[in-house]
A = this chain, B = another copy of it.
């Protein structure tokens, strides 16, 4: 199930930074991997990812370099900076907190008595 806009806002950058915490990666690859490794949840277009990467780089959370890929084509590879790594840690905590909050409110409770008449 694809995520709607406003949720992607919170989760997108975290997901990207998490991916980059494992390995150096280029844009197109990130789009593909995010979609496949999350079963479509983090499916996003290039027009979403690239500006996001520029944004993260502007904040010093990721860093990029040009490099010739396996197929001979020029690619821009991104990797997480130390600052980005710390930000990722903070985000993890935020997510844990958010999930706890939703649970405390009962939003994600499975058997919820709410019934939508009509």
Contact = CB atoms under 8 A, between A and B. Distances in A.
Chain A's interface: helix, strand, loop or mixed, by majority? helix
A108 B94 contact: no
A97 to B, nearest CB: 4
Interface string A82-118: 1001101100111111111110111110001011111
> Range of interface residues on chain A?
35 or more
A55 to B, nearest CB: 11
A3 to B, nearest CB: 6
A-B residue pairs, 4 tightest by C-beta: A41-B101, A85-B116, A7-B10, A38-B101
A97 B1 contact: yes
Number of copies of this chain in the oligomer? 2
Contact of A39 (B37, B96, B104): B104
A78 interface: no
Interface of A: 1, 3-4, 6-11, 13-15, 18-19, 21, 34, 37-39, 41-42, 82, 85-86, 88-89, 92-102, 104-108, 112, 114-118
